[in-house]
Amino acid sequence: MRIFRGLTRLLLVLAALALLPACTRQRGPRALVPATGAPAPATFTNPLLPVGADPWSIYHDGYYYYTNTTGDNLTLWKTKNLADLKNAEHRVVWTPPAKGPNSGHIWAPELHFLRGKWYLYYAADAGDNPSHRLWVLENASPDPLLGTWTDRGKLADPAADMWAIDGSVFLNNGKLYLIWSGWDGRVNGRQDIYLAPMKNPWTLAGPRVRISTPTYDWERNGDLHGPNDPPHVAVNEGPEVIRHGNKLFLVYSASGCWTDFYVLGMLTANANSDLRKAASWTKTPTPVFQQSPENKVYAPGHNSFFTSPDGKENWLLYHANSAPDQGCGPKRTPRMQRFTWRPDGTPDFGQPVPAEQVLAVPSGQ
């Protein structure tokens, strides 16, 4: 949940900007920051970058493309070794208009390659929380750091054009779906997970369906005390889908990100079921990934998935804080660790590994 606390947002933006050379922060031509040319290491430690909430990556034609929330633009990183992200070339590929419905609070971007083109999905607003919606850009260039990004507009169900963030898309059995976190109405207080079929990468093909709402206690940590905030918000957000065998696992973040109790929950569906029916999805009654005070990892969440270059390993990419009570601000850093599969076919994410623990890079580098 992204609660609008002015100071926290300002710190997030300033910290993200501090990572980029001044030339990349202009609204004119976006300069490419080249890779350092350092030899690829065989091991790495978390975090991958000094700041970066809502991390996302995709592997395509021998390269990983990575992005995370900066707050005021869309930046892409390109690397053959995601564990060496800090040395990767990167570029601001889009800056928002000075004003308008998608001019502020640029959150949770995701890059997808669909039907021969690149698409960037992101959340943005007009300067106030209730106006947050999902938006999509398109680029026909083989390299998404190059070419022209064309605005494909807002992604919304015309019959339920409500608050929306954390959009993601996935293909299943040849059909494309959009999943996101949204409000039931127009008043803040609870975030649910919604799903809708898509006609193409920028158009919905049917109405939204709510497939998850915060029901368990571990999904409902979210007291607030700001003068402009509701007293409490229960949260389901950041949905991501991974398929294993004939099962779909939708992993999402639960509870407020401003609490240390931000965790990952999971829904499961048969890949051949009607995904538009809420009854097709079953919620795991306990978190599948959560804070580890003994390892000094707090509020882990907003994950994505990737495989090693040789396709033999599955990896979890997520953000977390290194100390308690650091909330939703610029202390969140991107981290990654390998996960495995249990005999019953469900993912085993284990515990968050400590920062600075030496890990082997993904296999096949």
Catalytic positions are 54, 237
CA 341-346-348 angle, 5° bins:
50
Distance of CA 22 to the CA centre of its chain: 26
**Which tokens hold the place of 140?**
């026909």
* Phi and psi, residue 6, nearest 5°: -50, -45
Distance of CA 260 to the CA centre of its chain: 18
* Phi and psi, residue 14, nearest 5°: -65, -40
Is residue 13 within 8 Å of residue 72, measured between CB atoms? yes
* CA separation for the pair 240, 70 (Å, rounded): 20
Burial 105-137 (b: 16+ CB within 10 A, else e): bbbbbbbbbeeebbbbbbbbbeeeeeebbbbbb
